[in-house]
Structure 1
Amino acid sequence: MKQFKFNVLFLSFFLFLFFACNVKEKSVNTKNPFKHKVDSLLSLMTIEEKLGQLNLPSSGDITTGSSKSSNVAKNIEEGKVGGLFNIKSAEKIREVQRIAVEKSRLKIPLIFAMDVIHGYQTTFPIPLGLSSSWDLDLIEKTARVAAQEASADGISWTFSPMVDISRDPRWGRVSEGSGEDAFLGSRIAEAMVRGYQGDDLSKNNTLLACVKHFALYGAPEAGRDYNTVDMSRVRMYNEYLPPYKAAVDAGVGTVMAAFNEIDGIPATGNKWLLTELLREKWGFNGFVVTDYTGIEEMIYHGVGNMQEVSAQALKAGSEMDMVSGGFLNTLKKSLDENKISMSEIDNAVAKILTAKYQLGLFEDPYRYCDLDRAKNEVYTTENRNFARKASAESMVLLKNDNNVLPLKKSGTIALIGPLANNAVNMAGTWSVATVQKNSIPLLEGLQKVAGKNVKILHAKGSNVEYDLDLEKRITMFGKTIPRDQRTDAQLLNEAVKIANKSDVIVAALGESAERSGESSSITNLQIPQVQKDLLTALLKTGKPVVLVLFTGRPLAIVEEDKNVPAILNAWFPGSEAGLAIADVLFGDVNPSGKLTATFPMNVGQVPIFYNHKNTGRPIGNKQGKFEKFKSNYLDVRNEPLYPFGYGLSYTNFTYNNLKLNSKDLSANSEIKVSVEVTNTGNFDGKEVVQMYIRDIVGSVTRPVKELKGFKKVFLAKGETKTVTFKISQEDLKFYNYDLEFVAEPGEFDVFIGTDSTTELKTTFTYLN
């Protein structure tokens, strides 16, 4: 009898291996070519092994919450782990994978994940900065480079792109997204998915992408991370959901559920969100992973105990449990009590196994563990040069009075500020694979780019904050800015003495890297006061001052805009930060970035965004002036400091001859709209030409204008180019009161210009 059981087990295992190694891998979101193999494997699995596939613990190297996983190796050996995250290096991952495929009963490989958000070791600007390039090809290539490097180091799954729309800069994670606009955010979501996944996931240089955080995570009340989100379905469908859907349509392999609730039900356990909308309406057929302890946190939302919330999450459509352990430890009990079904468990397990087949892990569990690739493909000179280019393309010139910039490559420059010579803050938040000390600070970059005829003087000038406790909170994860033990007055006096010896002052000020990012919400959007005091003292010297602003969010810099001649918003530029900033400061690169998030006058204007609705009492044409009984403030104008789409250049661009080839649009036709753009300045440069449309009358109220097209064009000085866009019925569609996606007949304004405030417009009629 024992021999018979052994033979049956041996035959079953042989059949599993046969099926596991003889199917060609396919890309994501197609009909599942692995169904037969997955079903065969499921038939061999115990309930414990099935639940193990739904379990995603952290390796413990990096944690973002309160829980830590333990006994990971033992659980892998027992088939109780489906994947791991926060472990890196091909060598380490090979060793862990060996436990799974040599010591576990069914030898199912693990999937290894990491938050590869804006590059791997070669680090690009934070996503908000990258979006400011408005260059989809460049953005896609940053994801491609990240996939190349991360996959060479053992990673096969990234928790990116983050596509949450946010109009509230108090929320720290605005730094991780692409700003406030659904149209631009959708195009960037598509580009990132293409960059990570390529056209064939079975290749060993691709990553399984994960769009997050589904859904609405970027709109928390009071801008406080993890807080409640509540909005109408019309706003949800028109303004917040499009980038997630764009990622799904682009074939994203996985989706991460958000921390927040939707209509009173946490996203992790929201069946309408994860099943009815995501799967049934949008056709998503990858798997859903929770965010870090997302299932456990449903308890604190107040919807049940661990067993109850785990069952709810599974039935809602969450397939993989990150860190909580709720699936692993409670679903068998729920199954025994008929609170869930085996088919629900099997459905979840099948999706995860399918992803592993798609990645080619059954064919070769070590396909991402080639040590030669890790040596030759990570942090290469080619990748670093591209990162330098991407960083420069992302910077936004906010002000440049009297052509202070570009700087001359002669004379004396005083570089002053707590961020002037700090490598570890250059990559910004969520740069977990970056070797922070290798990043190039601004001082080094200036020294390398300036040439022999420039003398550079340097002083710290101030600490990053007056408040030591606050400073500790905003310089976490090894991104310390060593606190100078001299008094504030001594630091300031040294800076002023150096400034007085210079021809021009470059002030490197703003946020430290972890002042924005996850769990980094703030109520004060100004530059820290100690740095404002430093800047005031520098301005009093009478020397021209250039503010290089480091930030992960829109800041309220009204005083700086009023008093500082030139302001370059560098964001957090990545591992090649200093070189890229120097390229722009000296004019080797003409800045061409445009804001993708509105900069407010003050925190009281928040949330603030360009594509708002009109009220019944709009302020009309008297912009900037107070009108009683209109929708405005008593103490500040309604307009922002810098609008969406805004960004200057060292040259000037003019727009003329806006034309339509027809004044009428039908359902089966398209209109071509063109404009002449001329470089009227003294430098060659790039301009982001932006097209906005306004639906003048709708069945529900419509925004004052919406971005519907953009092109980044290069013009030599004196050159004129005709830029053309096409408008079709699809560009006019929106979700109406009944959540039908429709284009309604009527008149439409079309605007083309340099930012969202452009008034250059013409009109056409849509005839249904």
Structure 2
Amino acid sequence: MFLSTYPLNPAYLDSSLSPKERAADLLQRMTWEEKVGQLGGVRRTLVHTNGQATFNKTAFDAVHKTQNGQIGLGAQYNYAKDVLPVVNGLRAEQINSTRLGIPYVVITDSINSMWVSGGTLFPGAVSMASSWNLDLYEQVVAAIRDENHALGVNWVLSPELDIAYDPRNGRNGEMFGEDTYLVSQFGTKYVKTMQAKDENGFVKIATTIKHWVYGRGNGGVNRASMSGGINHIMNDLAAPYIKVIKEADPLSLMVSYASVDRVPMSINGYMVRDILRGNLGFKGLIMSDASSIQYTTTESMVSKSREDAARKALRAGLEHELSPDGTGLYTTLINEVNNTEIANLIDESVSALLKIKFATGVFDNPLPSVENMESILRSKKHLEINRNISRESIVLLENDGILPLHRSNVSKIAVVGAYADMINAGMYAACNATDPSYGDSLRRSLENKLGAENVLYAHGVDALPSNDSSGIDAAVAAAREAGLAVVVLGSGYGTFDTTEINNRRTDGEGFAHAELGFPGLQQQLLDAVLDTGVLTILIMSSGQTFVLNESTMRSNAIIHSWLSGEFTGDALVEILFGDVNPSGKLTVTMPQANGAFPVAYDYLPSDDRGGFGTATLYDWQWPQLTRYAPLRFGFGLSYTRFNISSPVAPSIVPYGGNVSVTARVTNSGRVAGKEVVQLYYRPEYSVIEFPVMKLVRFIKVDLAPGDFKDVTLAVPHNELGYYIDGKWSVDSGNYTFWIGSSSRTEDLHQFNVTIS
């Protein structure tokens, strides 16, 4: 123990009791001020000034006096070795100097790494989901968990279970994809792995599923409102939450910024108390997003004051507040001591937080040491896992035979584009995009492979939008000299700390894009290189999808590398030269034109109807396009050929039984590779409109050339249902199933099953 002021043998210090029992004992010992203080915390513990981690004790104390439930780590650019001693000191001081010794819980975001620098930097969420490899992703999450745990983190604000439905949304790179089943599988794996228990039975890291509910903001704008009734919400947006809540028991949940059916989620008692608590039975803590309670007064204009907003949020069911330091609204509840209703709600809220603290062992476990942390961060095992997930997260979209390159035929390569010389890891990654200490860019990886003298790098045009085209001529000259060009285009780079570029950012949280082409003059750069007739490989780097116009499709090969990890550059080189066979698959469909969306593969049948007469041939008449986009969900090329046989499946299954499907996967090519077998379905008729198809199972198989494997996918009939007015319904009757390597018609075998 770290304190000397505890009461004699209080029950809340008895680790043999449950978190609920310990929380109940501690709660009845707390003063009103101590309870209100638990409702918030200090998020920016350390800032980053002139390259140094800086701690302002005066500023910290001013906030912590009234908001002391949790603390964050502060600036991303600070290194873990500099952060841990400061945070340890604050945690020890809190325990030893307060009346009841109630410790902080350390909370932070964690998508593809620790929040601060010094750990293993994995690719972004949309990148890792593109691997379709749940077993490998489990290893990734375990590594991120262990590094966070060594840093003293108890609670992460992840995973994000939102559906990447609108390609204009700048946050799609934080999401797993456009399909509810795929998102639920990756989300469940994250929560179960992160919340694994240690040898003493304590949860290693508590998780936060977020954002309830989000993903279809008006215009793709980050905090915009969303429309839709309960059937849409339960089937299209809430489905991953339902699955993860039932199967993984996440300890907390964060509401979204959005107003849903005109009611901001921060005060939406129907969606929080009635649906989330009542219908779905969620038992964990519910928190706000950063400043979201305050936004009900400043943006939505549905609260008259800070005090009014705090009361409404508390009544709606929000038990903890995340806000920039010193701006918390729940501090105003200190004046509600004589309000019995508010006092009871605060008791519920404090109890929820205390249960997380007891569950994660913050009252019981010793503070972490720098020595132990340094033995865990960036271990050899973690780095190898990172290399493996980086290799499988890259998607090959087009290849006319140019790939893989043969070293004997390549003397020089022109590497073109600002994104070729940075690590574009996303806003939530602890990564200075141009600092080599965070990993090798594609340019540096190619120089390591071929020698710097054989890599002709040309910046071309800026990554952020500008009108400076002066570098295009040099890029064209480099391409002509080399005879082979690798052009890297993208959007969005840097972290929350890169304030100097935030007003010009083109992707990331709060940065939506109405134009889905390459920002700035990047398209002109690519066109100029393609116009030379030089063999050209296009690599895209971003969390978003892009519209690939006719000019772009002249590229001899097209690759999407998504958001980078520190080994993405190395993995790209391995794929370019055939040392690794690409096996990534799209988890989002790429639209064919700006405005040709929604374009997700699982649209409703009535969505695919253009009008009358010849207009029925298309959904959009200019240009003439349908929702069936070629670069669609589940698609990705390989250097080998896979054949998936016609499936063996029962024609009739009893009501409540299992639909079991077997297909043989054969590698008929000349190199080893990995294929993703995907199973889709839809009922012939349904009570409410059902998508044209939905993913229901997938598995990734690894085959040597000439080898085959029989894959069996079993689906309980109960999983083939849908929500009607908040109630789960499962139909009998005829079902259509498809099995294959993507959601494209030409990649699927269709068969029928009757459930009776």
- Equivalent-residue separation in structure 2 for 1:258 and 1:356 (angstroms): 24
CA contact (8 A) 1:165 1:185 kept: yes
1:225 is aligned to 222
2:580 aligned partner, one-letter code: V
Instruction: Give 1:160 deviation, angstroms.
Output: 0.6
- Pick one of 490, 493, 497 that aligns with 2:473: 493
- Pick one of 8, 14, 17 that aligns with 2:7: 14
- Equivalent-residue separation in structure 2 for 1:549 and 1:131 (angstroms): 17
1:683 is aligned to 671
- Equivalent-residue separation in structure 2 for 1:193 and 1:663 (angstroms): 37
- Pick one of 21, 31, 49 that aligns with 1:36: 21
1:313 is aligned to 313
- Pick one of 739, 749, 753 that aligns with 2:740: 753
CA contact (8 A) 1:186 1:244 kept: yes
CA contact (8 A) 1:695 1:703 kept: no
- Pick one of 610, 616, 627 that aligns with 2:601: 610
Structure 1: gaps of 5 or more residues: 1-9, 26-32, 469-486
Range moving further from structure 2, 341-350 or 643-652: 341-350
2:460 aligned partner, one-letter code: G
CA contact (8 A) 1:411 1:455 kept: no
1:477 is aligned to none
1:389 aligned partner, one-letter code: N
- TM-score, structure 1 length as denominator? 0.88
C-alpha spacing 1:77/1:669, structure 2 compared with 1 (3 Å): closer
Q: After the TM superposition, which residues 204-603 of structure 1 pair with which residues of structure 2 at under 5 Å, given as runs?
A: 206-215=204-213, 217-249=214-246, 250-299=248-297, 300-304=299-303, 305-323=305-323, 325-337=327-339, 340-364=341-365, 366-367=366-367, 369-408=368-407, 410-419=409-418, 421-423=420-422, 425-432=423-430, 437=435, 438=437, 439-450=439-450, 455-467=454-466, 488-489=469-470, 491-513=471-493, 515-559=506-550, 561-603=552-594
Structure 2: gaps of 5 or more residues: 49-54, 75-79, 494-504
Q: After the TM superposition, which residues 700-739 of structure 1 pair with which residues of structure 2 at under 5 Å, given as runs?
A: 700-736=688-724, 738-739=725-726
CA contact (8 A) 2:94 2:104 kept: yes
2:372 aligned partner, one-letter code: R
Q: After the TM superposition, which residues 119-198 of structure 1 pair with which residues of structure 2 at under 5 Å, given as runs?
A: 119-120=113-114, 121-198=119-196
Structure 2 residue matching 1:416: 3-state secondary structure: strand
Range moving further from structure 2, 87-96 or 171-180: 87-96
Structure 1 residue matching 2:21: 3-state secondary structure: helix
- Equivalent-residue separation in structure 1 for 2:65 and 2:427 (angstroms): 36
CA contact (8 A) 2:591 2:597 kept: yes
CA contact (8 A) 2:487 2:539 kept: yes
1:722 aligned partner, one-letter code: D
1:659 is aligned to 648
Instruction: Give 1:197 deviation, angstroms.
Output: 1.4
Structure 1 residue matching 2:171: 3-state secondary structure: helix
Range moving further from structure 2, 696-705 or 406-415: 406-415
CA contact (8 A) 1:151 1:204 kept: no
Structure 2 residue matching 1:760: 3-state secondary structure: strand
- Equivalent-residue separation in structure 1 for 2:339 and 2:697 (angstroms): 54
2:134 aligned partner, one-letter code: L
- Equivalent-residue separation in structure 1 for 2:706 and 2:38 (angstroms): 62
1:633 is aligned to 620
1:550 aligned partner, one-letter code: S
Matched, 1:46 2:31: yes
C-alpha spacing 1:701/1:77, structure 2 compared with 1 (3 Å): closer
Instruction: Give 1:71 deviation, angstroms.
Output: 5.3
- Pick one of 107, 111, 114 that aligns with 1:117: 111
Q: Aligned pair count?
A: 715
Structure 2 residue matching 1:723: 3-state secondary structure: strand
- Equivalent-residue separation in structure 1 for 2:511 and 2:200 (angstroms): 37
Structure 2 residue matching 1:336: 3-state secondary structure: coil
C-alpha spacing 1:575/1:521, structure 2 compared with 1 (3 Å): same
CA contact (8 A) 2:169 2:220 kept: yes
Instruction: Give 1:238 deviation, angstroms.
Output: 0.9
- Pick one of 624, 628, 646 that aligns with 2:635: 646
2:93 aligned partner, one-letter code: I
Structure 1 residue matching 2:512: 3-state secondary structure: coil
Range moving further from structure 2, 605-614 or 36-45: 36-45
- Pick one of 64, 68, 84 that aligns with 1:90: 84
CA contact (8 A) 2:225 2:258 kept: yes
1:5 is aligned to none
- TM-score, structure 2 length as denominator? 0.89
CA contact (8 A) 1:156 1:207 kept: yes
C-alpha spacing 1:104/1:724, structure 2 compared with 1 (3 Å): same
After superposition, the C-alpha distances for 1:725-750 in whole angstroms (9 at most, x for unaligned) are 113212311112x3321111111111
- Equivalent-residue separation in structure 1 for 2:317 and 2:200 (angstroms): 26
Identical columns (%): 27
Instruction: Give 1:637 deviation, angstroms.
Output: 1.4
Instruction: Give 1:544 deviation, angstroms.
Output: 1.2
After superposition, the C-alpha distances for 1:282-327 in whole angstroms (9 at most, x for unaligned) are 2322211211111111113122121111111112111111126555
Range moving further from structure 2, 505-514 or 697-706: 505-514
Structure 2 residue matching 1:44: 3-state secondary structure: coil
1:475 is aligned to none
Query: Over aligned residues, Cα RMSD in angstroms?
Result: 2.7
Structure 1 residue matching 2:675: 3-state secondary structure: strand
Instruction: Give 1:140 deviation, angstroms.
Output: 1.8
2:500 is aligned to none
CA contact (8 A) 1:676 1:720 kept: yes
